[in-house]
Structure 1
């Protein structure tokens, strides 16, 4: 059972500041692709719109309806996502998952800001929410790539 101090540590000032200032927090008018991911445990959702060119994200918008932890993750992702390749996004997602589930290190730069979520390791019911932004971005990237090839 969590103590009150554990919850205070989990919802640190840094996490709350990130959650209050999420970049690209608007949907795109004419995206190449859109993906919506939902956490079945808590109901958090993230919808991502994006455009790609030459294998990199050129435009990005997100609608985030998540707990403070999911919002903080979306803030870090939003701040770093423009110009990223699919491989970079996938690597960040895999490293974040390993950080949360396997006590791995924080993701590499440019997504190293996700280290702020290390205290969430002990809260398995929040892991899916934290991963939503990266997972929706990957799904949208694949859909955009498919649309570009059609």
Structure 2
């Protein structure tokens, strides 16, 4: 049921997004856009080698995109590039292949697991 997707935990994350804005002189910038809901998230990173040392994001997204962005913002500092690639892969498997949710610092992404049943919403969470 759609109420499982928009549960209190997801709405709580969506209403509490840290690190909003843009970084001056980021080492990397990425932008993602969901055609379905129109969400756009722009992420700026500062790195020391392959470790994230600073992070900011401009989030114009639905509740699912806001929740996902919020969880990442709370946990991304100190993560390395391999860890970020691994959490992305784990999320894709969770949503598309009935895989286990992420563990460790990104374990709160498990609250997005109900999105699995709504394929059209997958892009909103990634």
Would you say same fold, with TM above 0.5?
yes
2:74 alignment partner in structure 1: 79
CA shift, 1:116, in A, is 0.3
Higher RCO structure (Cα 8 Å, ≥6 apart): 1
Q: Spell out, residue by residue over 1:43-75, the C-alpha distance to the aligned partner (whole angstroms, 9 max, x if none).
A: 211100111002200110001111111111111
Report whether the alignment pairs 1:94 with 2:89.
yes
Contact 1:24 1:60 in 2 (8 A): yes
Which residue of the other structure, out of 126, 129, 135, is the alignment partner of 2:124? 129
Please report the RMSD computed on the Cα atoms of aligned residues, expressed in angstroms: 1.0
1:22 alignment partner in structure 2: 17
Aligned counterparts of 1:66 and 1:124: Cα–Cα separation in 2:
17
Aligned counterparts of 2:98 and 2:66: Cα–Cα separation in 1:
21
2:48 alignment partner in structure 1: 53
Q: Which has the higher helix share?
A: 1
Aligned counterparts of 1:118 and 1:91: Cα–Cα separation in 2:
17
After TM superposition, what 4+ stretches of structure 1 lie above 4 angstroms from structure 2?
Answer: none
TM-score, normalised with respect to structure 2: 0.95
- Number of residue equivalences: 126
